[in-house]
Structure 1
Amino acid sequence: MRLDALAAISQQLLDRCRAQGATQAEVSCSEDHGLSVNVRMGEVETVESTRDRGIAVTVYFGQRKGSASTADLRAGSLEATVDQACAIARFTEDDAAAGLADAALMARPGTGGRFPEFDSWHPWSLDADRAVDLALACEAAGRDADARIGNSDGASVSTARSLSVYANTHGFVGAERGSHHSIGCALIAGQGEAMQRDGWYSIALAEADLESPQAIGRQAAQRTLARLDPRPIPTGSYPVLFRSDVARSLVGHLLGAVSGGALYRRASFLLDSAGTQLFPDWFSIVERPFLTRGFRSAAFDAEGVATRDSALVEAGVLQRYVLGSYSARKLGLQTTANAGGVHNLQIASNAGDLDAMLRDMGTGLLVTELMGQGVNAVTGDYSRGAGGFWVENGEIVHPVDGITIAGNLKQMFANIAAVGSDVDPRSHVRTGSILVGRMTVAGGE
């Protein structure tokens, strides 16, 4: 019922845009409800309940664009928002790339005039008292796991649900709803300058898919204790294995480099790379927007364009860029239905779990944490602080921290030796651990 109400508001706003003389218009409406709590050392630190609403209107007068937004649903405020958007558009310059996505590309609803939801709506009836109890139980399970854990950065529990409608003057009206829940804990072990911090978390669209608070606390404790007593390693060139939860950052750098905004601004190390071999010939990345309970599943993108299963990388070759309609026009291409981002990426594996990958690597560095932002988007040069474990003969020998790993992303992509089967399910980028054949490691010795 609330989605229908937002859809009706969207249609009223589009009608007013037309009456004001707009040649095209689009409206986005959203409502979000959430609850989050944080505890630390057995005490409640914050309890926050949120309820947000937003209405955004964009109008086009030919190829002149204007936008305005409001959180007020009263008729006068909605009318003023349209008036402001139209006033802005009348004084802007023409932009040849401006306008709605092509009408022929709009998604079409199924039976009953609705789009599929992909099992993404699982509200959690969680009140503040229960949320606090769960967070306290999570932290207690971690703190009680070992006497060496003497401090905590706290535990958190959150739940959120959202409703959204996008509509435009092509006649497209798309409604979506989704839920998102999480539990996390971060602990501190050791004393003085020898203290180490780590944690664990679980996120899911359905509460039933979350790990238990106790399991999360114990995992946080195990990870924190494993980092005690780090030792330096010799500076040199070594194989580097990115554990699955940090490996997806490599995919993130790829996405940034092949996104339309970076490409038309000429701010990417992968300019003019579509159709070229960037990865080994066994490597592939596929976009899967229709996954059940996928974190980014959707039948349409932020412009109403129909999504589809599509290869981003196949046989190591970059098949396409990641484009919305504006960036596509700037590049002389067609949108890839990625306005608003990608929808569930799956990276194919060619290796076993993490233990098997350690054995195959033999001697090298296992990276479990990355720090800093040392990536040059224009050249692909990569240099980041890291922490993890030194590996010899396929076995973890000791933890390391305060090191730097460096290379060039183009070379790193080409030198990927393996992708593991140990997929981290807590992201829309689903990848196992990634082994890069060789990188420069400054180990502090």
Structure 2
Amino acid sequence: MSQSLEELTHALMFAAKKAGADAVDAMAVKGTALSIDVRNGVLEQAERSEGIDIGLRVFTNGRQACVSSSNTSEQTIEAMCERAIAMAREAPEDPYAGLADPDQLADMRSAEGLELCDPTPEPDPAMLQEDAMRAEEAALGKTGISQVQSASAGYSAREIHIATSNGFSGGYQRTDRAVSCVAIGGTGAQMERDYDGDSRIFQADLRDAADIGATAAERALARMGARKPPTGSYPVLFDERISTTIVGHLLAAINGASIARGSSWLRDALGAQIMPEHLSIIEDPHRVRVPGSRYFDAEGLPTQKRAIVQNGILTGWTLDLANGRKLDMPSTANAARGTSAPPSPSSWNIAITQGSKSRDELARDMGTGLLVTSMIGSTINATTGDYSRGAAGFWIENGEITHPVNECTIAGNLRDMLMHMTPANDARSYLSRVVPSLLIEGMTLAGN
């Protein structure tokens, strides 16, 4: 490729304006991904992909259309623009679609200072294979582990550039490095499995592969001999590994697209108390070395730190420009997009207030109940907030873990769950979603 991503986006804009567009935004993404899987000490699969994707959104006479391609030739760009204009002319009018006003645009147009890209060289396949093999070897080294379902290592790098005809042009680079392992203990009908993994922006921050494999094995072995828990109403302690799903349901419910459709279980809760008053949820898109960080969103608006929930009170929705206009509210600079679709609201880095007690201390306080370490399936009613999920973990009796459990269902209503939530202090601060283990009182368990 002879052109930079910035040059590509500007070429797209110029061609679209020449073809008759009233306004344009363009996006270009260059990516590299490498993944290695091993099994039984030998390479099982190796994949590498490289490519450039370009996307174009045009506006004409109150209508919009999006097109994308992985071909960056001049002929393809001209054809894309002509097709986009033709599509827009056939699209229905959308009074809410459109670019930002120029005075709304971000001044910061890179990711300087956020440390989203590791400057060290891309790891070679042999290095990734060694990490995956070390994870597998460590897992198999634990007595009782019968096999390793998967041991993987991967690397990816992306460069993104966005340009709009109202005067914005900005981009940034991102890298990711990951190792994971899934171990299986026992044989036949008595097999149990569990996992561990780590993903970081910087290679130097990544946990040791052998530690990941050993932890996966220890977790699998701890689940051996699992049985169903009793049916009834009990407190449930969501382990830190999965507690983020609870906050994820809240974030989905305050997404501006759901609110504008009237299909959210929190659609009438703006300004109302939805969590205990000592808890808050803060969104901060400017944290260093965190995947969800950025200085501008997909529409060129400046991101900023904000309280989503302040002292238990829901303070606002998550909005892009279009959904903000539908709700007669300003965008919260939360627009995200790919090359083939228009922007939509998305949350950046969030953190919930942490408690003063460890997970084990919360377990002792809960007396008798369920510690959930994994979940499967999901029945979440987006309109009512009714919640039901399959779960596995450990039974707690008199504050102590007594045995592993599986094949049970936990159920409740998300409104009630949020109001009866107590956080631990064990959240991992380097994650995009900093959520500790969460104790929720009065949930319904279906087991024996």
What range describes the TM-score normalised by the shorter chain of this pair? over 0.9
2:256 corresponds to which residue?
260
Structure 2 counterparts to residues 121-132 of structure 1, below 5 A: 121-122=117-118, 124-132=121-129
Corresponding residue of 1:345: 350
Matches within 5 A, 1:311-322: 311-322=307-318
Take 1:305 and 1:367, find their aligned partners in 2: how far apart are those partners? 39
Query: Contact conserved, 2:290 with 2:430, CA < 8 A, in 1?
Result: no
**Is the 2:229–2:406 Cα contact (8 Å) retained in structure 1?**
no
Structure 1, residues 239-266: CA drift from partner, whole Å, max 9, x if none? 1110111000011101111111111122
Give CA deviations for 1:57-114 in whole Å, capped at 9, x if unaligned.
00001311011111111111111111111111122121111111333221113xxx74
Instruction: Give aligned-pair identity as a percent.
Output: 35
Match of 1:368 in 2: 373
1:218 aligns with 2:214: yes
Counterpart residue number, 2:282: 286
Which residue number in structure 2 is paired with residue 410 of structure 1?
Answer: 415
Asked if the contact 1:203/1:426 (under 8 Å) is kept, the reply is no
Q: Which residue is equivalent to 1:158?
A: 154
The question of 1:331 aligning with 2:333 is answered: no
Aligned 1:208-247 pairs, distance under 5 A:
208-247=204-243
Letter in 1 for 2:311: A
**One-letter amino acid of the counterpart of residue 443, structure 2:** M
Instruction: Output the CA distance in 2 between the equivalents of 1:427 and 1:52.
Output: 28
Alignment of 1:86-125 (within 5 A): 86-109=85-108, 114-122=110-118, 124-125=121-122
- The DSSP-based 3-state class of the residue aligned with 1:374 is strand
Structure 1's unaligned 5+ residue stretches are none
Distance 1:439 1:393 in 2: 18
**Are 2:39 and 1:13 equivalent residues in the alignment?**
no
Task: Return the letter of the residue paired with 1:131.
Answer: L
Q: Partner residue of 2:50?
A: 51
1:372 match: secondary structure: strand
Q: Which residue number in structure 1 is paired with residue 137 of structure 2? A: 140
Q: Which contiguous aligned blocks of 4+ residues in structure 1 show a shift greater than 4 angstroms?
A: none
Cα drift, residue 19 of structure 1: 2.1
Q: Give CA deviations for 1:218-249 in whole Å, capped at 9, x if unaligned.
A: 10111000000113322111111101110000
Counting matched residue pairs gives 438
| Counterpart code for 1:106 | L
Paired residues for 1:391-410 under 5 Å: 391-410=396-415
CA contact (8 A) 2:373 2:393 kept: yes
The separation in 1 between residues aligned to 2:110 and 2:408, in whole angstroms, is 52
1:421 aligns to 2:425 (yes or no):
yes
Q: Per-residue CA shift, 1:383-417, capped at 9, x if unaligned?
A: 1000001112221111000000000011111111x
Structure 2 CA distance, aligned partners of 1:87 and 1:283? 51
- Measure, in 2, the Cα distance between the counterparts of 1:134 and 1:311: 39
Letter in 1 for 2:54: I
CA distance in 2, matches of 1:54, 1:379: 39
Q: Is 1:430 aligned with 2:445?
A: no
Quote how far apart the aligned CAs of 1:432 are. Answer: 0.5
Structure 2 stretches of 5 or more lacking a match? 337-345
How big is the shift at 1:34?
Answer: 1.3
Counterpart-to-counterpart distance in 2, 1:229 and 1:314? 43
Please say which of residues 161-170 and 423-432 is displaced more in the overlay.
Answer: 423-432
Structure 1 residue aligned with 2:268: 272
Residue of structure 2 equivalent to 1:73: 72
Q: For 1:163, what is the secondary structure of its paired residue?
A: strand
* 1:29 is aligned to 2:34: no
Deviations 1:106-125 (A, max 9, x none): 1113xxx7452501111553
The alpha carbon displacement at 1:351 in A equals 2.7
Matched position secondary structure for 1:167: strand
* Aligned 8 A contact 1:287 1:310 in 2: yes
Give the corresponding residue for 2:340: none
Deviation at 1:21, TM superposition (A): 2.5
Root mean square deviation, CA, Å: 1.5
Is the CA contact 1:106–1:172 (under 8 Å) kept in the aligned structure 2? Answer: yes
TM-score by length of 1: 0.95
Q: How far apart, CA to CA, are the structure 2 residues paired with 1:315 and 1:214? A: 41
Partners of 1:357 and 1:420 within 8 A in 2 = yes
Retained in 2: the 8 A contact 1:202–1:426? no
Secondary structure in 2 matching 1:388: strand
Are positions 1:182 and 2:178 aligned together? yes
- After superposition, what is the alpha-carbon deviation per residue over 1:273-294, rounded to whole angstroms, capped at 9, x for unaligned? 2111101101100001110101
> Does structure 2 conserve the Cα–Cα contact (< 8 Å) formed by 1:240 and 1:437?
yes
SS of match in other structure, 1:126: coil
Aligned to 2:61: 62
- Judge conservation of contact 1:135–1:183 (CA < 8 Å) in 2: yes
Helix, strand or coil: the match of 2:380?
A: coil
Does structure 2 retain, via aligned residues, the 8 Å contact 1:124–1:207? no
Comparing 230-239 and 113-122, the one that deviates more: 113-122
Q: After superposition, give the CA deviation of every residue in 1:9-37 in whole Å (9 maximum; x if it has no partner).
A: 21122122222232211001000001101
User: How many angstroms does 1:425 deviate by?
Assistant: 4.8
Q: Name 2:199's counterpart in structure 1.
A: 203
Q: What is the TM-score normalised by the length of structure 2? A: 0.95
Distance 1:104 1:260 in 2: 23
Q: What's 1:440 paired with?
A: 444
3-state SS of paired residue (1:276):
coil
